[in-house]
Structure 1
Amino acid sequence: MSIQHTSELTREEIHQFTGAVMLEFGAEWCEHCQAAQSMIASALKLHPDIHHIKIEDGKGRKLGRTFSVKLWPTLIFMKDGIELKRLVRQINPKDIASAFIIITTAVRS
């Protein structure tokens, strides 16, 4: 399931999500972000149960700073509000698949 947000969420709102969540921080104009889109889309097709939250990051956007995002794209994989894995900039399908396994098999605490 893909959720696209144009307005900025708060960190508290993100921590309220239950289940497996992938946060995608980036910018429309970012070439690295554009290059990663097909890999991300292909991986999400295999895992429709994962919530995908795409967050437009950049100057004046505080949410990325609260997650210490410095490079794009940054993918943060969470389970029940807890970060379990992070991929930054150099993203490949194998790493995305591995992160999805981590967040879909993690046991709730």
Structure 2
Amino acid sequence: MTPSQVREIRARVKDFDDPVRFVIASQFSRKFVLYYNVSSDTYAMNDISAATLFKRRRAAEAIRKLFGPNDCLLEVRVMKNSSVKRVGRYRKPLLKRRRKKG
């Protein structure tokens, strides 16, 4: 194999082994969080395992922008036993404030 092919294979293996994924979520309270599932176009209530896990942040962000301002991205990790663990805290996206005219 050529050196460029070896580099490509190593990059793909490294990408495959990365446990970080992204989930689209909408939180109403601390105990009530909806996680988005792209394949069925539905939200799962308080069940992160039913959500779509995005490998690429840019792809998740592009889909999140199609929804309202209350949805955000959560960073999660896929554990060795295939369970999903939240890494970051839920952060609501910042809304643009309107200035008063006058």
> After TM superposition, is the score higher than 0.5?
no
**Which structure has greater helix proportion?**
1
Max Rg structure: 2
Q: TM-score, normalised by structure 1?
A: 0.23
Higher relative contact order (CA 8 A, sep 6+): 1
